[in-house]
């Protein structure tokens, strides 16, 4: 059963605002994922197995070595995964 109430709705809205924010897709993805983790920790949203998998995939897309800049493929992967997470949030 999906989380409900003002805290859940606010967490979903904050995630979607972070993913649509102006700026680099990689930075937006990190901010959106951090906000989502905070919402899980606070109990505003429930983790689902698909969300855990998507967040794991996002982490891999955003992984970088020291000094390495992410762009192109990482940014596109981040945008793709964020859209999938946004759809799944209605079940969280």
> Where are the chain's structural domains?
6-91
* pLDDT (average), residues 34-61: 92
User: Is the Cβ–Cβ distance between 84 and 44 less than 8 Å?
Assistant: no
CA distance 63 to 73: 12
Give the end-to-end CA distance of the chain in Å, rounded to a whole number: 8
User: Do residues 63 and 88 lie in contact, with contact meaning Cβ atoms separated by under 8 Å?
Assistant: no
Share of the chain above pLDDT 90, in %: 51
Q: Confidence class of residue 87 from pLDDT cuts 50, 70 and 90? A: very high
pTM value surpassing 0.85: no
Number of C-beta neighbours around residue 67 at 10 A: 5
Give percent of the chain with pLDDT exceeding 70: 88
So what's the pLDDT on residue 68? 56
Q: Is the pLDDT assigned to residue 13 strictly greater than 90? A: yes
């Amino acid at each position: 059963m999906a989380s409900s109430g003002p805290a859940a709705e606010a967490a979903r809205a904050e995630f979607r605002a972070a993913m649509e924010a102006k700026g680099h897709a990689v930075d937006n993805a990190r901010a959106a994922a951090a906000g989502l983790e905070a919402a899980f920790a606070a109990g505003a949203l429930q983790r689902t197995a698909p969300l855990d998998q998507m967040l794991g995939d996002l982490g891999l897309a955003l992984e970088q070595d020291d000094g390495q800049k992410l762009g192109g493929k990482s940014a596109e992967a981040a945008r793709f995964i964020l859209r999938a997470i946004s759809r799944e949030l209605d079940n969280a």
